[in-house]
Amino acid sequence: MKTLIPNSKQIERKWYVVDASLLPLGRLATVIADTLRGKNKTTFLPSQDMGDHVIVINSQNIKLTGNKWDDKKYYRHSGYIGSLKTTTAKKLHEDKPTEIIKLAVAGMIPRNRLKKGVLEKLYVYTGMEHPHEAQQPETLKLKK
């Protein structure tokens, strides 16, 4: 018996919509990351990009538990000596409300050649509206 390995043209990709105000950030990011990679499909292969497109709405209403708004820090570095920049979750959310979700999901995707292509299928918007109505996205089921 042979194992069927689908090529990129045989992969059926769906579009899903997720409301970011329904779950805390970590639980939401794991559901999104699994859907982007295609781990919910029976044909999942870790060496291929089998995932679906995910649209996240209401990113301005994201939930963080505990004191994470003040204690959680995001770091970036330019590569020069002494140029480490630190930002709290509250400040990052005020400046770029979509960036917290993108960073959380990016941290849950394996660091390999597929990561860039997987993250290109993530679309995050601050409000309820999104420009992807033509793709007829389905609502992604979340476990509370």
**Who contacts 51 (Cβ-Cβ below 8 Å, separation ≥6)?**
13, 35, 36, 37, 38, 118, 121
CATH number at residue 76: 3.90.1180.10
61 found inside a domain: yes
Within a domain: 41: yes
Q: Which of 55, 56, 58, 48 is nearest to 118 (CA)?
A: 48
Residue 73 has pLDDT above 80, yes or no: yes
pLDDT band at 76 (very low <50, low <70, confident <90, very high): very high
Beta strands 122-124 and 84-88, pairing class: unpaired
Which of 42-46, 83-87, 90-94, 97-101 bottoms out in mean pLDDT, i.e. has the lowest? 42-46
Residue 95's domain comprises 15-139
**CA dihedral angle for residue 101, residue 21, residue 96, residue 67, rounded to 10 degrees:** -80
The reported pTM is 0.92
Q: What is the pLDDT of residues 4-61, one digit of tens each?
A: 888 888 889 999 999 999 999 999 999 999 999 999 998 898 999 999 999 999 999 9
| Mean pLDDT score, 118-129 | 96
**pLDDT value of position 1:** 76
Q: How many domains does the chain have?
A: 1
Write down the pLDDT at residue 57: 97
- Confidence check: pLDDT of 109 > 80: yes
Which three-class secondary structure state does DSSP give residue 30? helix
Task: Judge whether 103 lies within some domain.
Answer: yes
